Chain A
């Protein structure tokens, strides 16, 4: 994922001689890594400016070298970029928990709906899927197949063109039967398709989901920020799922979406198969990409 070249930069920093020049060098390299990972350019500039400012203004606490202290600042700022230090909450706080998946065309919503259904089913919940994509040819068959593969029922009305009504009826159908988690798949749409955005708003307005999940492809570039803002404006995004991290894409666009919506990344998709979904923990992730085994220890001293 993002910043897999960071480890090298950190090592160079640690091994370099002169502190001031190595800070500058580090910041420059970090910028490059972030841009290469598709983090929004403006966000990158803000982040590195902030790191430089803190490094210039704050004083290291006693007992800590300037270098370690600088790395702890970088760590903190990066964790913030990922939405902050808390672990994501994946357990449904209430029942039924209604999840609405939204996102661009082909981002992986339908596949992720199947994966989430499987994930929650394994956790012991009764899960239902609602096929509210009436736009893409074969969308119902796709979700139906995935539902069958994981043993989760799918509500759909093949042939119907009314996504809003399917969503409403589907949620009602599973609610009445006492299901715990209800996952609604919707058609792909982009930030300039006003009709489709209105449809999404309509679905959200009628269904009142407990969580709107923005599904983002790891390969999305600089548009991620704008896309996420637009979705967020129409239907406030509660969490983000980044798909297709098994490719070479770094997923930095998702970080821009975090900044644009204030939502957190909850899961990441790492393959086409139904079990290729992982819970995402920003702190662990940042520590790992910085390649600092004893980072926790270091941070305790800060």
Chain B
């Protein structure tokens, strides 16, 4: 390329090297770099990020060392053991089961489902939004009617009904059931951005030069809205933690022998537990609050990084 260029122009090789170096220095930094500098500029965000990553790694690894069926065995001797004792750091519940251990395994299950749900529903929502926004016209109209219909369904009720219909469900089927109903938000966001993006000149140019539709959608438009996708995934991850825990709280999520943050909070349904034995449910509730706040705080920082006018760390 360089030699070819030299033959047709009178710029010397040294100049070319200098020019390309200058261009590289002036070019927009990569997305990863922008995000990193944004985190460096915002200390609390950095702390939130470390808390989230550290906590997720801790529960994932910690849960491996806990024998779940053994942990869930009833132990009458430890009936509502007080918290802050050497054997039970966070006390024990009505079955004498260690709250601290349940919290670790429960967090692993709940966070795992939230991650799976985010991956599946976001992938689907992104594809739906991209296709619907790009092929304006009849395809979009049809897809919008499906979207309207899904929005009309009473989500929580439908999930509960589906859970009762499926005979032997586990965390994987549960994640899929949730995913059926939680892609709408993402798809609408992506669609509206794609509609704007598809009007742009580079799409028209690419189309006239014969690029296939799928290549335009997934190789050209999608990278251009990647920052939006990252932000949306983070924020919906925070929301999705509430989905499984909420249903488990009602008793329609994970089966009762599989600990989850939601089933732990449902200990509070018993008027005795809620006041006298607060340690059976309060730690799980606080954990959900802290996790959700931290994750969406990170999401806010990512959103700032995606919007050049709001950046705080881009000055360096």
A binds B: no
A residues contacting B by CB (< 8 A) are none
